[in-house]
Structure 1
C-alpha cells in the first residue's frame, strides 16, 4: 500500500486509505470505457454506428461515482457516462447491440445510445429532454426512504441541464422531503457550443446548494481518487443520514457535443490545458511511478479488455438485424394488464361524483399499501376540492404528500416510485396546470414501456371543465392533448358509479392513466354507488339510451347535456353512448350503434378542431360509410379560450348548440 500524496500536473492523489487492489480497480474501470470509446470512434467513421456522444476525458466521474455506489442502488446517468454501464458490468455485447439497434440491446432498436434503462443493473437512462431524470431520482429515493432501505440514488446532469426548470424543481423537492439523492453535475464547460459564461452567472453551480438548504461539494472530476473517496464518504453519510447533496464535478469535454459537431468553437489553449489533466493518462502515470502498475500488468489489462471488446463486437455484428413486426410494436406500447373484474353486492349509497372519487381513492389506498398520492394542498387541507380530506389521519403523511408547486417534478417523482416498484397518484390542482408537467407525461411516462419495458404506474388526476365561471386557466377540458400520445390511457367518467370503479382500475393498471374529473359535475350529479371496492373495465362504453333515429356519442359533462336535450325532445329516439374511456376507445359500440341508426352526432365540450370528435367522425366514415344516411356531425365549443363571465361562458359552450344541430341532422 502506498500512503504518500503524489502530485502530477497539479493532480493530487490522496490514497492513504486505498490498497493497491482498489487503486488498480479504479484504473481498470477507467481504461475500459476509454478503449471502448476509441473503438466506437473508429466504427462511427466506418458507418457501423450512427451517432456517438463521447465521454473521453470524463471517465473518472462515471467510474468513481459508480464504484462508490452499492450494486442495488439506482444510478441515473447521461450520454457521456459509459463508465457507469461498464463498471456495473453490463455485458459488452448488449451495449454494442444497443448502439447498433439490435434485439439484444435494451430497447429493441427503438431508441439509441444511452437512452435506456435496465432494472437488472439498477440503471435508469436519460431521455433527450435532459431535466426529467432528476425528478425521477427523487421518486426512487422517496421509495427507498419509505421502505427504510438506507440507500442513496445518484443522478447525473451536465452544467447545461442545470438551467432547466426540472433541475430547480427536483432539488427543491429533494430538499423539502429530505431525500437521499446525490445530484451529480458534470461541469464540462460547454452545453453543445454555449460556454458556461453564457449559461449562468454564479461562480460555481455548487453555490446554488445554499438556496435549497442543501449540502454541496466541488470535486475535481478528472481525479479518480478524489472522485471515488469523496463520493464514497458522502454516499455512506447519506445512507446513515438521508438527505440530498449537490456535487459539482469540474471537468472538460475533450470532443464535440456529439462527433458531428466538432470542437472548433473551443479555444485551442483551453483544449491543450485540459489535455494535460486527462484522467486516464495522469492516473496511469501515477500508478507506474508508484510501482503499483507494472508493464506486464498494464499490457495484460489492455489485452484482456481489447479481446473482450473485439469478441463482444463480433457477437453484436453476427446478430441478425431486427425484422419489423407490427404486432410486436403495437403490443409493447403498454404493459400487458390483465383486468380483474371485481363486483360487489354491497349496499349502495347515493353519492355525488366528488364523493365517489374520494371513496374510490381511499379504498385503493387500502388495497395497495405501496400507493402514494401527491399534490398541492392534498394533506391536512384535503385538496382544493376536499377529495383527500381525512386521508392524512388514516394513511399518514408519508403516503399523502403535500408538494411544492412543481408539476414536472411530481410527475417525475411518480415515475421514480414506479421504477422502485410502487404506485403513484398525482393530483393536478386543475387540469389546466398539467401544461407545467406536460413533458414528463408525454415524453417519459408515455414512452418508457415501449422504449425499455419499464412501466409507468402513475395515475394523474385531472379536475377539468367549464361551467363554473373559472376563466381561461381553470376551465379547460384538455383530454385531446393526451389521446394523441401513444402510451397513455385516458379516462373521463360522467357518473359517480363509473368514476369510482374506473378509478380503481386506473390505479390497478400499471400503465400511465390521465383521469379526468369534471368540476361542474363534482357536486351536481348524484347516483347510487356500492359502498365496497369494485372495478370497471377500460374500453367499454355505456349505452344510456336506446333508439333507432340517431347515435349520440359523448363523454364527461356533455353526456348530461345530451340527456337534457333528449328529455326535452321525447320524440327523438336515440342511442346515447357515454364513452367513459377515450383511450382505449370502444369502437365496437360506436360501429354497432351507427350501423343500426344510420346517423351519428358527436358532442364534446372541448373546442372543435383537433378534438377527439374529429377522430371518431373519421373512423365512423371509414368503417360505416355505407350504412350512413347523413354526414357525421360534430358539435363542440367555440374556437376561443374559455371566458370567465357567465353569459360569455354559456355562449362558448357547445351545450347551447347541440339541440339545433341534432335536429338538423335528423332532418337531413
Structure 2
C-alpha cells in the first residue's frame, strides 16, 4: 500500500490527477485486448507507472517540451492528444503522426510540444539539451523534461547529455523511470551503485529520488522543482522508483520476475491506491469512479471506431520520396561585387561569418571553436563578434552535440556542428543516420543542422585524422552531402547548406585548406545543390571527381595537354547531378571516376552503375574507377602516397584512352 501524506492540493487538482491516470490505464487495458486480437502490432505497457507520466506532465506548462518513452502514454493523454490520432498512429493510418511510417510512440508533435523517442533511447537526452538551449538563448524561462529508463542510463548518450546540461546549466529535467528491469536484465546487472540519482553528484547536478507510484508526491515535488528551475535555470536529475507490471513489450512476458516481487509491487498500484485514498478522503465516491470509467471507455470506443473507419494507407511512391526531405525553396544570391584571392580555409571562414550575420540566431558548436578558433582557426575571432552564447565550445562528446543541434532545430534555431576531424564523426554516427536523417520522413520535423567535416589525406596524419568518409552518408536517405574542391564553391555552397532546413554533411579537405587559392567574391552569395561544375571541356573522355581528386585530375591533364577531356567536379554528392554526368559521357563515350575514398562501396561504384544503366549504348569502353587501396590510411608519406590514387590515376586514364 502507498502512504499519502497530508497535502495542500485542492480537490480539483486531486481529481485531475486521478482522471489523468485512469485514462491511460483504461486505454492500455483496451490495447492489450486489441493486441491479442491482432488489431495492433506491438505494445509497450506502462501499467503501474502512470503516476510518473501524469505527475510530470501536469507540473509542466503546456508550451514546455516533453520527450517521453514507450511507457509514457500518460504524457500524451494528459497533453490532450486526440485519442483518434493515437489509435490511428498505432494502426498505421494516415491520421496518425507518422503516415504509417513508424509505430507506437516513435513520433513527435509540435502541436502538443512532444518529441517522441527513437529505439536507440539515448539520443533524446541530448535533444532535450538542445531544446533547453534554444529556450535559454531566446530568453524564455522554460523547462524541458526528458524520460529514460534505468537501462538507458547505461548508454553513453545519457552521460554526455548530463554533462553538457550541467556545463551549460540548461534547465532540463532528466527523469529516470527505474522500473527494475531493462527488458529482462535486472538493475543489479545494469549498474553498480545504490541509486541512479547518485550519478548527479558526478556531474555537479542536483538530484532527487521520488516514489514513482505516489501521484501526490510526484506532482508536488516535480511542481516545486520545475518552478525553481524556471527561476534558477539548471538541470535536475530525478530517479523515480517504480516497477513495470508487464513485460518490456507484451511478447516478452514477465516469467523472469520473482513472484513475490511482482506481488509486492502490485500492492503499490498507483491508480488503485490513489482511488482508494480519494474515496477515503471523501473526494470521490465509488459511483463517481464508475461514472469516470464509463465516460472514458465511451470516449475510447468512439475514437477506436473512428480510427477503424479510416481507410488503410494507399502507398504513393512519389509522396514517400518527397517526404524524405523538408522542401527547400532555394533563393539564389548572385556572386557579385569585389573579389579577393582567398585560400579554401579563408573562404569557408568568411562564408561562415556571413551566415552568422545573416541568421542572427545561428549557433556554432564544436571542440575548441570559441576563443581558440578551432584547430584550423576557421572560427578565429568569431567569439568577439558573435559572443559565446552563439559560438560554443563543447565537451568532447560528438554524439550529444549533434543531438543538441537536433533539439535546437525542433525549437526553431539553426546550428553548425564542427567535427574536429571527420574521422571523429563515428562517435556521433547514430544520431546523424538514425535521428537527423530520418526525422522529417518519420513525423515531418526537420533537422536544420550542418555538420562540418574536415577530412582527407595528404598531410601525413594517419588512420584517425585522414579519412574521407562521405560514402557512409551518401548511402543514408535524408542527408545531403557537399564536398567542394575550390574556395569559390566552398563559400557559396556553405551558405546554401546553412539556408537549407535539412541536415547537411559538409566535407572540407584539409590538404586543400591552405594550398588552393582562388579569386572569390567577398559579398554573400549562394550556389545551388545538385549542380556539378564542368572544369574543362573535351571530346575524348569524361573525368568525374570531387574534392582533392579534382586537383589531381587537373594536374594529370597538365602533364598531357594533348588529352581532350571533360572534367566534372560533382561538388555535391547528395543530391547528385546525374544529368551533367550522363550528357558528358554520351558525348565522349568514355568515363573514368576518381575518388580519394577506398574503392569498394564508394560513390564511384554507384556512379559507375548509373552510367552503365543509363549510357551503356554510348560507351566505347568499360567505366573505370580509380580509388585508394583497400587499407586504412597509413601515416608515413611513402605509404600514404602509395595508398592514395593520385599516381595511379594517370596510368588508368592513359589505358582507358587506348581501349
Paired residues of 1:344 and 1:534 also in contact (CA < 8 A): yes
Q: Deviation per CA, 1:402-452, whole angstroms, max 9, x where unpaired?
A: 000000000000000000000010000000000000000000000000000
For residues 486 and 194 of structure 1, the distance between their equivalents in structure 2, rounded to whole angstroms, comes to 34
Correspondence for 2:641 among 644, 647, 650: 650
1:454-603 matched pairs, under 5 angstroms: 454-603=445-594
Distance 1:12 1:393 in 2: 57
The alignment status of 1:226 with 2:234, answered yes or no, reads no
- SS of residue paired to 1:334: coil
SS in 2 for 1:110: coil
In the TM superposition, structure 1's runs of 4+ consecutive aligned residues that sit over 3 Å from their partners are none
What is the rounded CA distance, in whole Å, between the counterparts of 1:471 and 1:91 in structure 2?
55
TM normalised by structure 2 equals 1.00
CA distance in 2, matches of 1:298, 1:160: 36
Distance 2:111 2:532 in 1: 40
Alpha-carbon shift at residue 297 of structure 1 (Å): 1.8
Which of 251, 257, 275 in structure 2 is aligned with 1:260?
251
Residue 13 of structure 2 aligns with which residue? 22
After superposition, the C-alpha distances for 1:174-209 in whole angstroms (9 at most, x for unaligned) are: 000000000000000000000000010000000000
Q: Does 1:422 align with 2:405?
A: no
Q: How far, CA to CA, are the matches of 1:242 and 1:484 in structure 2? A: 41
Q: Is the 8 A contact 1:15 1:225 kept in 2?
A: no
User: Which residue of 365, 378, 391 maps to 2:382?
Assistant: 391
Alpha-carbon distance, 1:17 to partner: 1.5
Give the structure 2 partner of residue 288 of structure 1.
279
Give matches, 1:263-278, under 5 Å: 263-278=254-269
Instruction: Give the equivalent residue in structure 2 for 1:6.
Output: none
Q: Which SS does the other structure have where 1:552 is aligned?
A: strand
What is aligned with 2:626?
Answer: 635
Residue 345 of structure 1 deviates from its aligned partner by: 2.0
- Mapped partners of 2:419, 2:231: distance in 1: 34
Aligned to 1:666: 657
Please state how far the C-alpha of 1:301 moved relative to its aligned partner.
1.0
Shift of 1:148: 1.1
After TM superposition, the structure 1 = structure 2 runs for residues 16-415 of structure 1, keeping only pairs within 5 Å, are 16-415=7-406
Q: Quick check: 1:434 aligned with 2:425?
A: yes
The CA distance in 2 between the partners of 1:650 and 1:309, in whole Å, is 68
- For the 8 Å contact 1:132–1:409, the answer to whether it is kept is yes
- Structure 2 CA distance for aligned equivalents of residues 544 and 247 of structure 1: 59
Q: Does the aligned pair in 1 maintain the 2:335–2:526 contact within 8 Å?
A: no
Residue deviations 1:344-367, cap 9 Å, x none?
A: 421000000000000000000000
Q: Contact between 1:77 and 1:124, CA under 8 Å: does it hold in 2?
A: yes
Q: Which residue of 2 aligns with 1:605?
A: 596
CA distance in 2, matches of 1:204, 1:365: 44
Q: Does 1:13 align with 2:4?
A: yes
Q: Distance in 1 between matches of 2:564 and 2:59?
A: 71
Asked whether the 8 Å contact 1:408–1:439 carries over to 2, the reply is yes
Within 2, Cα distance between the matches of 1:597 and 1:341?
A: 31
Distance 1:157 1:15 in 2: 30
Task: Give the structure-1-normalised TM-score.
Answer: 0.98
SS in 2 for 1:422: coil
RMSD: 0.5
SS at structure 2 position matched to 1:515: strand
Task: Indicate the SS of the match to 1:370.
Answer: coil
* Contact 1:222 1:251 (8 Å CA) reproduced: yes
Alpha-carbon distance between aligned partners in 2 of 1:313 and 1:576, rounded to the nearest angstrom: 60
Q: Deviations over 1:135-171 (max 9, x none)?
A: 0000000001111110000000000000000000000
Deviations 1:593-623 (A, max 9, x none): 0000000000000000000000000000000
- CA-to-aligned-CA distance 1:74-126 (integer Å, 9 cap, x gap): 00000000000000000000000000000000000000000000000000000
Tell me the CA shift for residue 295 of structure 1. Answer: 2.4
How many equivalent pairs are there? 659
| 2:111 counterpart SS class | coil
How far does residue 299 in structure 1 lie from its aligned partner after superposition? Answer: 1.8
TM-fit CA distance, 1:300: 1.7
Residue 617 of structure 2 is aligned with which of 615, 626, 651? 626
Deviation at 1:15, TM superposition (A): 4.3
Q: Does the CA-based 8 Å contact 1:77-1:123 persist in structure 2? A: yes
Deviation at 1:296, TM superposition (A): 2.7
* 1:576 match: secondary structure: strand
**Do the aligned residues in 2 keep the contact of 1:183 with 1:244 (CA within 8 Å)?**
yes
> Deviation per CA, 1:278-335, whole angstroms, max 9, x where unpaired?
0000000101111111123212211110010000000000000000000000000000
Secondary structure of 1:577's counterpart equals: strand
* Equivalent position of 1:4 in the other structure: none
Question: 1:608 touches 1:614 (CA, 8 Å); kept in 2?
Answer: yes
Q: Deviations over 1:367-419 (max 9, x none)?
A: 00120000000000000000000000000000000000000000000000000
Q: CA deviation at 1:16?
A: 2.4
2:173–2:237 CA contact under 8 A, matched in 1: yes
Instruction: Quote the Cα distance in structure 1 between the aligned partners of 2:376 and 2:550.
Output: 22
1:245-268 Cα deviation digits (max 9, x unpaired): 000000000000000010000000
